[in-house]
Amino acid sequence: MSSRCPVTHWYDFLGLGISLFLAIAGSTILNMWYDRDIDAVMDRTHHRPLASGLVTPLEAFRLGLVLAILGVGLAFIMMPIYGLIVFSGLFFDVVVYTIWLKRRTCWSIVWGGISGGMPILAGRVYGVGSVDAVGVLLTLAVLFWIPTHILTFSMRYVDDYKAARIPTFPSTYGFGATRITIAVSSLLAAVSIGSAGLLIGMEWGFLRLLGVLTAGLVLMAIASIFRPSERVNFGLFKYASLYMLSAMILLSL
Partner 1 sequence: MKISPLDRILLLLMSLLSAWQVAIGINDFDTLPIIAYTIGFGTLIIAGLLIIILGWEFLESPFVVVISSLIPASLSLGLAWEYLPDIRIFYLSFVSIGFLAILATRLTGTTRNFPLIIVTIAHGVEGLLISLLPIWLVTKGLVSVSFLLVGFGGALSGLSGLLLTFMKFNKPILERSLTLHILPGLLLVSTAALVAGFSF
Between residues 66 and 249, which has the closer beta carbon with respect to partner 1? 249
Q: Which of residues 139-158 bind partner 1 (CB under 8 A)?
A: none
One-letter amino acid identity for 5? C
The reply on whether position 204 binds partner 1 by CB under 8 A is yes
Which segment (14-22, 70-78, 177-185, 218-226) binds partner 1 by CB under 8 A? 218-226
Which segment (24-32, 77-85, 174-182, 227-235) binds partner 1 by CB under 8 A? 227-235
Residue among 58, 176, 192, 184 at smallest CA distance from 121 = 192
The alpha carbon dihedral of 73, 78, 84, 85 has a sign of: negative
Range list of H helices, the chain? 10-34, 36-41, 57-78, 80-91, 108-128, 133-156, 158-163, 169-173, 175-200, 204-226, 230-252
Which segment (49-57, 65-73, 180-188, 197-205) binds partner 1 by CB under 8 A? 197-205
Between residues 91 and 206, which has the closer beta carbon with respect to partner 1? 206
How many other C-beta atoms can be found within 10 angstroms of the C-beta atom of residue 207? Answer: 14
Task: Collect all residues with Cβ–Cβ distance below 8 Å to 49 and sequence separation of at least 6.
Answer: 32, 55, 60
Q: How far is the CB of 242 from partner 1 (least distance, A)?
A: 7
Binding residues for partner 1 (CB under 8 A): 203-206, 208-209, 211-213, 215-216, 219-220, 223, 227, 231-232, 235, 238-239, 242, 250
